[in-house]
Amino acid sequence: MNLKNIIDNREAQIGVIGLGYVGLPLAIEFVHAGFTVTGIDIDELRVKTLNEGNNYIQDVSDKHLRDAVENNKFSASTEFSVIKNLDCVIICVPTPLNKQKNPDVSFINSAIKEIKKYIHPNMLVVLESTTYPGTTRELVAPELESTDLKIGQDFYLCFSPERIDPGNTVYNTANTPKVLGGITPNCGKIGECLYETIVSKVVLVSSPETAEMVKLLENTFRAINIGLANEVAIMCEKLGIDVWEVIDAAATKPFGYMKFTPGPGLGGHCIPIDPHYLSWKLKTLDYNARFIQLAGEINTSMPFHVVDLVRAGLNRNQKSISGCKIIVIGVAYKKNVNDVRESPALDVMRLLVNDGAELSFHDPFVPNIKLNGSQLDGLSHLTEPILNEADAVVIMTDHDQIDFDFIEQHGNLIIDTRNSIKKSSASVIKLGVGN
């Protein structure tokens, strides 16, 4: 039977390589569509945890995972040889930056080397990891074709960017359209046929390069617009205007404007990183991606600006950061998630500690963090005495679970980077609000 038929009747064996924020929800989505799914990860602890039916990704329901394992619809392995028996393999490994802020595609390379050992005719390979335009054709295709199998003839190769938004309760994998581009038209058709089983709409584009660029446009658009909102916040502080009021009023325009809000800086595995993949690629073509560079400068300066606001507030109370008790509220990079990767809260905390602050933090989603090489345990909850004793409270993440009225009532000095405190008060300094 050909690959399309076994996908259509759910007999195709699906494999997902990399079982993190992207891979695990995707694997469970394929189980819901009726497939049997094998997850492959190099992290032995993750594999063991999953095979015991235990979940570690917030966007996956514990029950769904347990049911999938108990019904033998999902299993995990560290053994790449399972690929021999798989029909469709989807790669969801990390694509970080190296120390020089250049793309680190080593995780993709090592996954491809393993696939190459076990690739067989009538198989579909899809790369989902965010990467620069050209990766699928220039990096992945030659390696897999060195096996004598021909793309579009013996096996199929596509790129399909992941658009998952962790913590988003409205949009998930199933109701977010999926962009996909194949190396050949029939690669695209087979890829479309697979993803149609789990998403409401597949947007088939003409090439993997187009699909790779779509993802980078989406995330560069966000990085640049957040950069603009951050710069407007600083402008408003200088002009004595409230940026939050400006943005809310501008957002009443029903066309030609999209609301972005300022904040303490960019975080997560995508927005601070992905635009660098694009600017790196353009540098190899002697082109300087100026918007990306400028947005990067503004966004990475925000943690320093937040510390300046803390310093100004303490100064007003005849205090300095050195020796002061400061509580950071929220260390996850955005609301209602437990992910601290690239979180600007960590930058702010490092700067405060370096300036001699006596630092603590509270985050209902994050029990502890690593700061300057040591573990720092969070405050499990905020009490009146804890807030009273602090010289400053810095709101970094606006989780829904946090009682900001309580913080406003009991904090001596509050630096609010998220517009979480609605009452205006002399003890509150808000990012983007001039005195």
Question: Contact positions toward ligand NAD, by CB under 6 A?
Answer: 17-23, 40-43, 46, 92-95, 107, 110-111, 129-130, 162, 164, 166, 269-270
Handedness of CA 85, 91, 92, 97 (dihedral sign): positive
Run of H or E residues at 428: strand 428-430
Residue 219, judged by CB atoms within 10 A of its CB (0-12, 13-18, 19+), counts as buried
The region, left, alpha or beta by phi > 0 then psi within -120 to 50, assigned to residue 33 is alpha
**Rounded least distance, CB 22 to ligand NAD, Å:** 3
- Can you tell me whether residue 60 is helix, strand or coil? coil
Where do the H-state alpha helices sit in 88-167?
106-118, 135, 141-145
- C-beta closer to ligand NAD: residue 196 or 218: 218
**Rounded least distance, CB 321 to ligand NAD, Å:** 33
Question: 36-40 and 74-77: which strand pairing?
Answer: parallel
Q: Are 326 and 310 in contact (CB under 8 A)?
A: yes
Handedness of CA 226, 229, 235, 240 (dihedral sign): negative
- C-beta closer to ligand NAD: residue 40 or 407: 40
Q: Measure the CA–CA gap between 31 and 235, rounded to whole angstroms.
A: 50
Residue type, 190: I
**Rounded least distance, CB 78 to ligand NAD, Å:** 8
**Rounded least distance, CB 145 to ligand NAD, Å:** 20
Q: Measure the CA–CA gap between 158 and 126, rounded to whole angstroms.
A: 5
Residue closest to ligand NAD, measured at CB: 20
Active site residue 88: no
> Which listed residue (158, 187, 193, 270) is catalytic?
270
**Bridge partners (DSSP) listed for residue 16:** 39, 90
**Rounded least distance, CB 127 to ligand NAD, Å:** 9
Nearest to 339 by CA among 267, 407, 283: 267
Residue 412, judged by CB atoms within 10 A of its CB (0-12, 13-18, 19+), counts as middle
- C-beta closer to ligand NAD: residue 164 or 340: 164
- C-beta closer to ligand NAD: residue 45 or 258: 45
- C-beta closer to ligand NAD: residue 212 or 398: 212
Q: Are 252 and 419 in contact (CB under 8 A)?
A: no
- C-beta closer to ligand NAD: residue 48 or 150: 48
**Rounded least distance, CB 215 to ligand NAD, Å:** 7
The set of catalytic residues is: 270
